[in-house]
Amino acid sequence: MQKVGLRLKGIRADELLFRVNGVPPKADGKLELKPAFSRKVRRAAGEENIFLLTLSVRIESTPEEPKPFDLVASLTGVFGTDAAGEEGVRAAVVEATQVVFPYLRAAVTGLTSAAMAAPIVLPVIAGPLFPEDREKDDGLFS
């Protein structure tokens, strides 16, 4: 993937939610979190070289997989870039995702700690977070 010039201009929290939902923990104390990540990318109005990337994670209780809490964290980074063309924009989005993800990890850990729950530490992701960002022919991913 090509390298692009990328500058983080700012980052904000759009949503931080931790809600206890009354589901008792399992007797064995084990909890499978299964965080669901999503990403939204949009151009800044009237700015060709500025884009916003929103990265979110959800851990929610469902009837099939009950959890004692629901968690939502969503952060938006504002980036400047000199990327051009489809490949350049794709590279900028992948790189911007890698920039925002550590902030999202910290927000989740801080949110759960502030709620006086056991801190949740999302894993470090070495490489692209989303499968569609991985290069098919680089031999690293199958």
CATH number at residue 38: 3.10.420.10
Using the predicted structure, report yes or no on whether residue 135 has a pLDDT greater than 70: no
The pLDDT tens digits for 20-39 are 988 877 777 677 888 999 99
Tell whether 140 is covered by a domain. Answer: no
Tell whether 50 is covered by a domain. Answer: yes
The predicted structure's pLDDT at residue 82 = 87
Tell whether 48 is covered by a domain. Answer: yes
Calpha distance 133→142 (Å, rounded): 13
- Neighbouring CB atoms inside 10 A of 4's CB total 19
Closest by CA to 33, choosing from 66, 79, 76, 80, is: 66
Calpha distance 116→127 (Å, rounded): 31
The pLDDT tens digits for 39-93 are 999 988 888 889 999 999 999 988 888 888 999 999 999 999 988 888 888 889 9
Kindly compute the dihedral angle of the four CA atoms of residues 123, 19, 59, 39, in this order, to the nearest 10 degrees.
-90
Tell whether 103 is covered by a domain. Answer: yes
Higher-confidence position of 111 and 24: 111
Range of the domain at 98: 6-117
Higher-confidence position of 21 and 139: 21
The predicted structure's pLDDT at residue 63 = 86
The predicted structure's pLDDT at residue 2 = 67
Tell whether 69 is covered by a domain. Answer: yes
